[in-house]
Amino acid sequence: MREALQQLIARRDLLYMIVWREIKIRYKQSIMGFMWAILLPSVIVAAGIIVRYGVSALSGKPITGQEIAGITVKGLVWAFFAGALRFSSTSLIGNPNLVTKIYMPREIFPLATILSQLLDLGVASCLVAVVFAFTRLGASWQLLWVPLLLAATVVLATGWALLISAACLFFRDVKYLVEVVITCAIFVTPVFYDVEMFRKWANLLMLNPLAPLMEGLEKCIVYGSPPDLPWVAYSAAVALVSLVAGFHFFKKWEPAFAESI
C-alpha cells in the first residue's frame, strides 16, 4: 500500500495531464464550453426549487431565500457526487489502450475523474454567489467548516469511484446499476428537502453518509450555524473506510485489469 502511494506520488504529473485531458476534451468540441459545468447543476437546482415551491404551496408557508440558497448548495454537491460516480464507471473502460498497452498506476483514472468533477464544482459555485447576491445572505465564521465537509465528500466519492471503476471493468453492467442507484439515491439524500422535515425519521435519513455532509454544508453556508458534529464524524469515518477499502480493492484486482478489460 505504501509502495503504491509512493508510485502514485511519483506520477503526479501524469494525474495532472489526465485531468487536463478530460477537461480539454470535454470542452474542446462543445460550443458551450464551461457553461456545461454550470448548466447541469442548474437543472438540478431548478428542479429542487420547483419541488420546494410545490411543497410550500401545499403547506401554505412561503418559500424563503434561505431555502433557495440551501437547495443551490446541496444541488451542487449532489451534481459533483453523482457526476463523480457516473464518470468513474467509464474511467477505466474508456481507456482500454492505456490499460492494456502501458503500465502506470491505474488509480490515476478514477482519481482524474474526481478532480475534473471537482473543478466543475468550482466553476459551478459561481451559482451560489449569484443566489447569495439575490437573497442578500451574508458570510459567517462557520464557513471555516466548508473545507472539512467538502474534503469528507471528496474522500467518500473517491472511495466509491475506485470501487466502481474496477467493478465496471470486470462487469460491464455495473455501469447501469450505478446509473439506477444514482437516479434513486436523490430521493433518500436530502437534496430537495431537509432531514428535519421527517421529524422522527430524520436520524434514519442521516445514516446515508452523504446526508450529514450536505446538511452540514447547508447549515454553515446558508444559516451560519455549525454542522451536527457527531453526524459529521460518522460521515467522515464512513468516508475514510470507503477510501481505504476502495483503494485496497482496486489494488488487489489491478493485476487482472489488462486481461479482463
Partner 1 sequence: MAADIVLKVESVSKRFSRGEMHDSLRDFIPSLFAKLTGRARAAPTASKEFWALKDVSFQLNRGEAFGIIGANGAGKSTILKLITGIMKPTSGRIDLNGRLSALIEVGAGFHPDLTGRENIYLNGTILGMRRAEIDRKFDAIVEFSGLADFIDTPVKRYSTGMYARLGFSVAAHVDPDILIVDEVLSVGDIVFQNRCLEKMNDIIRSGATVIFVSHNLRAIAELCPRSILLEQGKVTAAGPSQEVLRAYLERSSAQGRLSRSKALLVSRVKVRNSRSEAVSFESGDKIWVDVEAECSGDSEPLSTRTTISST
Q: Which residues bind partner 1 (CB under 8 A)?
A: 11, 13-14, 16-17, 21, 24-25, 28-29, 97-98, 100-104, 170-174, 177, 255-256, 258-260
Question: Closer to partner 1 at the Cβ: 199 or 259?
Answer: 259
Q: How far is the CB of 174 from partner 1 (least distance, A)?
A: 7
Contacts of 139 (CB under 8 A, 6+ apart): 224
CB of 29 to partner 1, least distance (A): 7
**Cβ proximity to partner 1, 98 vs 146, nearer residue:** 98
CB of 107 to partner 1, least distance (A): 14
Cα–Cα distance between 95 and 110 in angstroms, integer?
11
Of 113 and 189, CB closest to partner 1: 113
- Give the shortest CB-261-to-partner 1 separation in angstroms: 9
Kindly write down the DSSP assignment for every residue of 146-171, as one continuous string.
Answer: HHHHHHHHHHHHHHHHHHHHHHHHH-
Residue type, 250: F
Complex with partner 1: residue 156 or 166, whichever CB lies closer = 166
Give the shortest CB-257-to-partner 1 separation in angstroms. Answer: 8
**Residue 94 or 226 having the CB closest to partner 1:** 94
Shortest distance, position 17 Cβ to partner 1, whole Å: 4
Nearer to partner 1, 100 or 183 (CB): 100
Q: Can you read off the three cell numbers belonging to residue 26? A: 470535454
Please, are residues 157 and 116 in contact by the beta-carbon 8 Å criterion? no
126: which residues sit within 8 A by CB, 6+ positions away? 38
Q: What is the dihedral of CA 248, 249, 255, 261, to 10 degrees?
A: -150
Q: Are 82 and 183 in contact (CB under 8 A)?
A: no
C-alpha cell at 59: 403547506
Q: For the chain, give me the number of helices (H) and strands (E)?
A: 13, 0
What cell was used for 19? 485531468
